[in-house]
Chain A
Amino acid sequence: MSAPGRKIGGVVLDVQNISLRFGGVKALTDISFNVREHEIRAIIGPNGAGKSSMLNCINGVYQPQEGSIALRGQTFKHMNSRQVAEMGVARTFQNLALFKGMSVVDNIMTGRNLKMKSNIFQQAIRWGAAQREEDQHRAFVEHIIDFLEIQPYRKTAVGKMPYGLQKRVDLGRALAMEPQVLLLDEPMAGMNVEEKQDMSRFILDVNDEFGTTIVLIEHDMGVVMDISDRVVVLDYGKKIGDGTPHEVRNNADVISAYLGTSH
């Protein structure tokens, strides 16, 4: 179901032999996979498989004990989320982590933070350049708001919005960063069928219109198989499958992980 005209390029994100332990608990063991430019790459697996841990490693929240992660050939180790953000990686959160007291516009505007050049004193007196800059970013944010079809909620405090729409704001804030790689942590968790369809459409549109490379986590196999180009399957912190949705669906290990096997 990949969009026409969309060209999958070379490797953007290369994950090599990642192992992550919390004390004695092995969250991830020797995981390797790569993500190609403009691709939609899914990481799936049952609950507790280590999907979120994997995403948090890429995002710099966790530092894996072994292995390396390279973004466009640049290896990063011991980076925090802010530094990873500066390298062009944005993310959304499984349990919404929006700024609840702030309006939709303000939430998405925070995503422009890294693009802002004016300093605190120029902002304080709203001096020419700072004002122009604010206006430019505001225009970009309005574009995202249109794109995600949340115009009527522009000034609403996000804490008061329905859950499905809050998920869109979360996506909008990440898009405002104009990321090269977008990490989506269970973008459809807790949604009903219609909301899931909307979200799938937005993900495909982002990929298509902005050419953003997307890595997404889901445990709902159905949706993922429809929209992703390639799928990594994790179970108990180990990689048990990697390939196109079709290949993965017919992989014996994957089937047993999801359905259980008779031994």
Chain B
Amino acid sequence: MGAFLETLIGGLMTGMLYSLVALGFVLIYKASGVFNFAQGAMVLFAALAMARLSAWIPRGLGIDSKLAGNLLGFFGAALLMIAVAWLIERLCLSKLVNQEGITLLMATLGVSYFLDGAGQMVFGSDIYKIDLGMPKDPIFLFEKVFQGGILVNEEDLYAALIAAALVAVLALFFQKTSTGRALRAVADDHQAAQSIGIPLNRIWVIVWSVAGIVALVAGMIWGSKLGVQFSLSLIALKALPVVILGGLTSVPGAIIGGLLIGVGEKLSEIYIGPKLGGGIEIWFAYVMALVFLLVRPQGLFGEKIIDRV
């Protein structure tokens, strides 16, 4: 039982991070109907920016504090992501309004390569570290209940808490502010939103900025775990099955889908893995997504696809 819970909790924590990346996809898809292939590149770009800025800014200002450095780096990177969002809207999306989905997808593919290249050009292509000063030591919980307790990685625990806090803030922003209401309105019906004077361009900049900041948080957490390197942009590939599972149009879907995949991956590795010779964690998510595509193509929470004939 102890081992099961341990795996479960480990899975939930990894899942929370998948959710973060998936959330970026869902936000942009809902508001603008664009499947943003560049989400992974945004994660890498944001992480690179944070890693470098948290070193450069304090050095420039002569501050010697890890916390201040990280905070400055974070806000610097956040501002940069907002600038990136604005540029993407101005230079790319606003020229492609009302184009086919596939055209927009190709455009974001271009954006993705551009960000990969620009990130490495500006920030360098070495492997950088983001040191959030989070404790790396494992801790034991419920030692009285289970023999040996449950081993939890403290770093993962903080990461999951940060992710959960971000999701909560986003939920409040969407539900309780008038800008959030305008965002939901645009997600539901572009034309009607325009007719009541909601400026689509501004909404898109806001959505891409929010997705950029979500990418930054995801990049910061993954980066502090694995180091900031090119493979970070491949995390987006892990989020694809999450999006299929949860539904491209559902924010709760992205979160629950991420948790399901995180847990499924870890549990299958432990319980089915030995029988199949291991390595399940790599492909499990995709097989799960495939099954969902066959049974419920709109995902767990997606809008049911009804075609009028």
Q: Do A and B bind each other?
A: yes
**Contact between A81 and B194, CB atoms less than 8 A apart:** yes
| B179 is an interface residue with CB less than 8 A from chain A | yes
A168 to B184, CA, bound (A): 20
Nearest-neighbor residue (CB-CB) of A123 within chain B: B177
- Residues from chain B with Cβ under 8 Å of A91 in the complex: 195
| B90 is an interface residue with CB less than 8 A from chain A | no
Contact-size category for B: 20 to 34
A177 to B176, CA, bound (A): 20
A110-B177 contact in complex given A82-B199, A99-B189, A99-B192, C-beta closer than 8 Å: no
| A221 is an interface residue with CB less than 8 A from chain B | no
Chain B residues 175 to 214 lying within 8 A of chain A, measured CB to CB, are 176-182, 184-185, 188-189, 191-200, 206
Chain B CB within 10 A, most for which of A90, A110, A126, A173: A110
| A161 is an interface residue with CB less than 8 A from chain B | no
Stretch at the interface among A4-12, A34-42, A67-75, A112-120: A112-120
| A59 is an interface residue with CB less than 8 A from chain B | yes
| B173 is an interface residue with CB less than 8 A from chain A | yes
A82-B178 contact in complex given A61-B191, A100-B188, C-beta closer than 8 Å: no
User: Taking the nearest CB of chain B, how far is it from the CB of A111, in angstroms?
Assistant: 5
- Residues from chain A with Cβ under 8 Å of B206 in the complex: 120
A85-B178 contact in complex given A99-B185, A100-B188, C-beta closer than 8 Å: no
**Contact between B177 and A106, CB atoms less than 8 A apart:** no
Chain A residues 165 to 222 lying within 8 A of chain B, measured CB to CB, are 173-174, 176-177
User: Taking the nearest CB of chain B, how far is it from the CB of A137, in angstroms?
Assistant: 8
| A80 is an interface residue with CB less than 8 A from chain B | yes
- Residues from chain B with Cβ under 8 Å of A80 in the complex: 194
A177 to B199, CA, bound (A): 15
A110-B179 contact in complex given A93-B192, A98-B192, A99-B184, C-beta closer than 8 Å: no
Query: Which one, B173, B176, B188, contacts A102 given CB within 8 A?
Result: B188
User: Taking the nearest CB of chain B, how far is it from the CB of A217, in angstroms?
Assistant: 15
- Residues from chain A with Cβ under 8 Å of B185 in the complex: 99, 102, 107, 110
Nearest-neighbor residue (CB-CB) of B249 within chain A: A101
User: Taking the nearest CB of chain B, how far is it from the CB of A92, in angstroms?
Assistant: 9
A110 to B179, CA, bound (A): 9
- Residues from chain B with Cβ under 8 Å of A177 in the complex: 196-197
A116 to B198, CA, bound (A): 11
A59 to B184, CA, bound (A): 22
| A242 is an interface residue with CB less than 8 A from chain B | no
Query: Which one, A82, A102, A134, contacts B194 given CB within 8 A?
Result: A82
**Contact between B196 and A113, CB atoms less than 8 A apart:** yes
Nearest-neighbor residue (CB-CB) of A100 within chain B: B188
| A149 is an interface residue with CB less than 8 A from chain B | no
- Residues from chain A with Cβ under 8 Å of B178 in the complex: 109, 112-113, 116, 118, 123, 134, 137
Chain B CB within 10 A, most for which of A93, A97, A137, A174: A97
Task: Give chain B's interface residues, CB within 8 Å of chain A.
Answer: 173, 176-182, 184-185, 188-189, 191-200, 206
Q: Which 9 A-B pairs have the closest CB atoms?
A: A85-B197, A97-B192, A99-B188, A123-B177, A114-B197, A81-B194, A110-B185, A81-B195, A99-B185
List, sorted by A's number, 19 A–B pairs whose CB atoms are closer than 8 Å. A80-B194, A81-B191, A82-B194, A82-B195, A90-B195, A93-B191, A98-B189, A99-B193, A100-B189, A101-B184, A106-B181, A109-B181, A110-B181, A110-B196, A113-B182, A113-B197, A124-B173, A126-B176, A173-B192
